[in-house]
Amino acid sequence: MSKPELLIVGGGPAGMSAAIEAASHGVRCCIVDEGRELGGQIYRDAHAIEREASPDLINPRGDELRKQLAALTNLIEVRSDSMIWGISDGNKVAVGKEASGTEFITPAAMIMATGAYEYIPPFPGWTLPGVMTPGSAQILAKNLNVMPGNRIVVAGTGPLLYVVASQLVQKGINVVAVLEATQRRDWLKVPFAGWQAWELLKEGFGYLRVLRRAGVPVYYGRIVTHAEGDAELSHIYHAPVDKNWFPDRDKEECLEVDTLCIGYGLQSRNYLAQLAGCKIEFDELGGGWVLQRDKRLRTSQPNIYAAGDGAGVAGSKIAELEGRLAGLDVAASLGHIDAEKLQQKNKPLQRELERFSSLKNTFARLTRIRPGLTELVDTDTIVCRCEEVRWKEAKEAIEHGGHDFRTLKVMTRLGMGMCQARFCWPPMARIVAQYKGCDISEVGPVRPRPPIRPVRLDVIAEAQSNQTQETE
């Protein structure tokens, strides 16, 4: 295939929809995705194990999108098992693949559809084997047919908890309880705020019904304060919280479990966009540091768009709509459709987006991280698990003038490990800001550097031979 006009980063709902929309107007697209099959986290590849093991849990939407995409195969090149590890001069993109090396692509336009990842605050015991994120438990149980444990508590906040808890139940796992940090009275507002997005509400009630039928209690307004165990997790302690999620330690209760799935919502993955020079801003309701975008979903960099959770956490429905809007805008800006057609196609998508916005905003307010969560750390709690930095070391560094990510890193090695500060820094930034009594924007984000994901050295080295082919 000749050089793609549009490079789409990520093949989840936003990326797939963007490709389908753009290609349907004649734009030559290339989707780069780390997975073996497109689908992203939510419509993760339905390969043989899952099809056999969890036929009832497969979301048909993933297959629908994959089918639509396959019908446009002459215009959409799919690069799976591939990873973009760097970008320079704003649009020179290094696409790496194990065993074949790196190719530099210079597209006319890019859509960042990089999705989101889970937010896990450090608390005493959180690094014990048996503590995992809801997303990891989901991959184990649903996709790989591996049972994450026998007595599981699902805790944290956000819709993903109910999805995962109900799927675990359907796989026959004993879910002891679901602990939701936000108060029940706040969750009761959801149906009123989100009635227009009736299909999502219906889906949500479906999950709750599964839990109720299985007798799984859902406790609202409670957080896990600490976890215990010798070599692995054996007990968790949870307590009721106030509206800022400060726990009432006198009312702490203990549960005997072997697995804790804990996650406090999602945050945008945007290291690559930052490397491309796209500006970010802190948005409490969008999941932390998010990309600045205009109404047309363009970032601060010309010809780079962002859609879906990678631009600001909003869920898969909105991701699809944003993907289509971005794909449409690219088609217009590259001259494949005229302004009139753009307008005509854009309007219904915008209206649909509007229909979901109220529910999205309600969820965002309900699940936003509150300060009580950042005060769970103990002096010996590990705050950076890659480099095993403890809170007391980080605290000492803060007191010696460590005021932002870079200085804390230099002083403690925090964030220097394989996760490249993805997991440690977002909660640590809140902890530091709260400890110092300053705004989180003063503490700042991570400044990403290539490779934005760890990559084999030969993938970087093998780039030379391809460099000359970079145009055409």
- Under the binding rule (CB under 8 A), the answer on residue 454 touching other proteins is yes
* Residue 374 or 420 having the CB closest to other proteins: 420
> CB of 374 within 8 A of CB of 430?
yes
Dig out the tokens for 241 from the structure.
Answer: 């919280």
Burial class (CB in 10 A: 0-12, 13-18, 19+), 213: exposed
For other proteins, the closer CB: 47 or 406:
406
The site string for other proteins over 341-360 (x = CB under 8 A, - otherwise) reads: --------------------
Residue closer to other proteins, measured from CB, 73 or 88: 88
Residue 301 contacts other proteins per CB under 8 A: no
Smallest separation (angstroms) from other proteins to the CB of 274: 11
Q: Please, which residue, 44 or 453, has the CB nearer to other proteins?
A: 453
Q: Pick the closer one to other proteins by CB: 215 or 401.
A: 401
Residue 153: what are its φ and ψ, rounded to 5°? -110, 135
**Distance of alpha carbon 204 from alpha carbon 198, whole angstroms:** 10
241, 222 contact by CB (below 8 A): yes
Interaction with other proteins in 78-107: which residues (CB under 8 A)?
A: 85-89, 92, 94, 102, 104
User: What residues numbered 158-197 form the site for other proteins, per CB under 8 A?
Assistant: none
Which of 74, 457, 468, 472 touches other proteins by CB under 8 A?
457
**C-alpha to C-alpha distances, 195 to 3, 198, 293, 320, 351, nearest whole angstrom:** 45, 5, 27, 20, 15
User: Is 291 one of the binding residues for other proteins (CB under 8 A)?
Assistant: no
Whether the CB-CB separation of 27 and 327 falls below 8 Å is answered with yes
Give the x/- contact pattern for other proteins in 403-442, rule: CB under 8 A. Answer: x--xx--xx-x--xxx-x----------------------
Rounded least distance, CB 454 to other proteins, Å: 5
CA 34 to chain centre: 14
Nearest one of 429, 441, 392, 436 to 412, comparing CA atoms: 392
Which single residue is written with the structure tokens 């790196």?
Answer: 102
Strands 82-88 and 92-97: antiparallel
Residue type, position 182, single letter: T
Shorter beta-carbon distance to other proteins: residue 85 or 123: 85
- Cα gap 63→108, rounded to integer Å: 29
Nearer to other proteins, 146 or 418 (CB): 418
**Three-state secondary structure call for residue 12:** coil
Binding mask 387-406 for other proteins (x = CB under 8 A): --------------xxx--x
Angle at 315 between CA 125 and CA 167, to 5 degrees: 60
Could you tell me the smallest distance in angstroms from the CB atom of residue 458 to other proteins?
4
Site string for other proteins, 102-141 (x = CB under 8 A): x-x-------------------------------------
The residues that touch other proteins, with contacts defined as CB under 8 A, are: 85-89, 92, 94, 102, 104, 401-403, 406-407, 410-411, 413, 416-418, 420, 449-451, 454-458, 460-461, 463-464, 467
